[in-house]
């Protein structure tokens, strides 16, 4: 009997994570779906009836809860092949001097510590899975390129990038692959969260251009995770065609 592929997805309640759940389900993967909003996880499980789905209400910042969730994975979901470290957020789009310290802490706790919590808990299972296992970390163009208002968000994604590279060194010989997938502007609930619920600001950002969609990114995720075992994509940076860099800012008298 063919072994079932199992994906463990953080942040499956919205945006990229939810689209990825749908994409991997299309190909028959078993899914462990996590996030804080349980009602959305239940809805998604009710939608994805063709594949085995295990849902976990989980805040990735809660180290003990993460360890427990992994330890208590039902046997049929235990041999994880893909860890999709997707849960994350940006806060405080204003410049650094105007930011509340707690917003910086929330980004560090989620994008860095949360990602590290889940990775640490699942590493033994991924190593046991061996060849073809994948840790797919969702970084950002903000981890590579500076822009105003990116401060700790971009820095947290730079961590994701370097952590991904460094993990590759330590996982050499295990067969486990690691990728930093770094998208540019994509229309999800990301800006609604970043602006603490300002729907107008979110609409203004995405209107009149063609951002990436959650499905575009889910397709990339699926591609990366299903390549032949001997191929490791180290980093993918993907922008919509209508996004590019801008000129350096010069302060003048
Ligand atoms: P969404 O806001 O649509 O989704 C974010 C997901 O992260 C939600 O499912 C949310 O679930 C989850 N999440 C946030 N905090 C926590 C937490 N503490 N514990 C568990 N889950 C959490 O945004 P995106 O889909 O766009 O974002 C997904 C990832 O992509 C993030 O890492 C983001 O930084 C990154 N990214 C986004 C880009 C964009 O332009 N949209 C571009 C580049 C990268 P819940 O609230 O239910 O817990
Ligand atoms: C999110 C993309 O351009 O807002 O990571 O930094 S961007």
Residue pLDDT, tens place only, 166-211: 999 999 999 999 999 999 999 999 999 999 999 999 999 999 999 9
Active-site residues, by number, are: 153
Neighbours of 106 (CB within 10 A): 17
Phi/psi for 249 (5° steps) reads: -85, 130
CB contact at 8 A, 103 and 92: yes
Closest-approaching ligand to the CA atom of 154: 2
Per-residue pLDDT for 41 more than 60?
yes
Window from 2-11, 17-26, 218-227 with minimum mean pLDDT? 2-11
Q: What pLDDT is recorded for position 216?
A: 98
Give distance in angstroms: CA of 92 to centre of ligand 2: 13
Residue whose CA lies nearest to ligand 2 atom number 4: 185
Q: What pLDDT is recorded for position 4?
A: 85
CA-closest candidate to residue 90, choices 41, 141, 135: 141
Cα–Cα distance for residue pair 84/173, rounded to 1 Å: 21
188 CB near ligand 1 (under 6 Å)? yes
Per-residue pLDDT for 2 more than 70?
no
Give distance in angstroms: CA of 239 to centre of ligand 2: 10
Give the angle subtended at the CA of 234 by the CAs of 231 and 235, to the nearest 5°: 130
Instruction: Spell out a b/e string for 205-237, using b for 16 or more CB atoms within 10 Å of the CB, else e.
Output: beeeeebbbbebbbebbbebbeeeeeeebebbb
Task: Ligand 1 pocket test: pick from 9, 15, 151 the residue with the most ligand atoms within 8 Å of its Cβ.
Answer: 15
Which neighbouring-strand residues pair with 235? Answer: 180
Residue pLDDT, tens place only, 93-122: 999 999 999 999 999 999 999 999 999 999
Determine the atom of ligand 2 nearest the C-alpha atom of 190: 1
Residues 6+ apart with CB under 8 A from 96: 151
Q: Is the pTM of this model over 0.85?
A: yes
Q: What pLDDT is recorded for position 14?
A: 98
Residue pLDDT, tens place only, 120-168: 999 999 999 999 999 999 999 999 999 999 999 999 999 999 999 999 9
138 CB near ligand 1 (under 6 Å)? yes
Determine the atom of ligand 1 nearest the C-alpha atom of 111: 32
Cα–Cα distance for residue pair 164/21, rounded to 1 Å: 22
183 CB near ligand 1 (under 6 Å)? yes
Q: What pLDDT is recorded for position 78?
A: 98
- pLDDT confidence tier of residue 3, bands split at 50, 70 and 90: low
Cα–Cα distance for residue pair 54/222, rounded to 1 Å: 19
Per-residue pLDDT for 1 more than 50?
no
Residue pLDDT, tens place only, 212-224: 999 999 999 999 9
Give distance in angstroms: CA of 84 to centre of ligand 2: 18
């Amino acid at each position: 009997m063919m072994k079932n592929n199992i994906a463990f997805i953080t942040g499956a309640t919205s945006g990229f994570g939810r689209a990825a759940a749908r994409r991997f389900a299309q190909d028959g993967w078993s899914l462990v779906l996590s996030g804080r909003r349980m009602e959305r996880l239940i809805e998604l499980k009710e939608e994805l009836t063709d594949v085995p789905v295990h849902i976990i209400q989980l805040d990735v910042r809660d180290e003990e809860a993460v360890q427990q969730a992994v330890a208590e994975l039902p046997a049929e979901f235990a041999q994880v092949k893909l860890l999709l470290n997707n849960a994350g957020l940006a806060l405080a789009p204003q410049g650094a001097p105007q930011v509340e310290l707690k917003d910086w802490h929330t980004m560090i706790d989620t994008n860095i510590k949360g990602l590290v919590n889940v990775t640490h808990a699942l590493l033994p299972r991924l190593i046991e899975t061996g060849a073809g296992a994948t840790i797919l970390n969702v970084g950002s163009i903000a981890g590579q390129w500076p822009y105003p208002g990116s401060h700790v968000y971009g820095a947290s994604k730079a961590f994701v990038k370097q952590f991904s590279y460094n993990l590759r060194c330590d996982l050499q010989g295990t067969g486990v692959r690691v990728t930093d997938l770094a998208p540019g502007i994509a229309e999800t609930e990301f800006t609604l969260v970043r602006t603490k619920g300002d729907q107008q600001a979110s609409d203004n950002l995405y209107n009149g251009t063609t951002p990436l969609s959650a499905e575009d990114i889910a397709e990339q995720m699926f591609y990366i995770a299903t390549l032949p075992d001997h191929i490791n994509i180290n980093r993918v940076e993907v922008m919509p065609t209508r996004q590019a860099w801008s000129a350096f800012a010069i302060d003048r008298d």
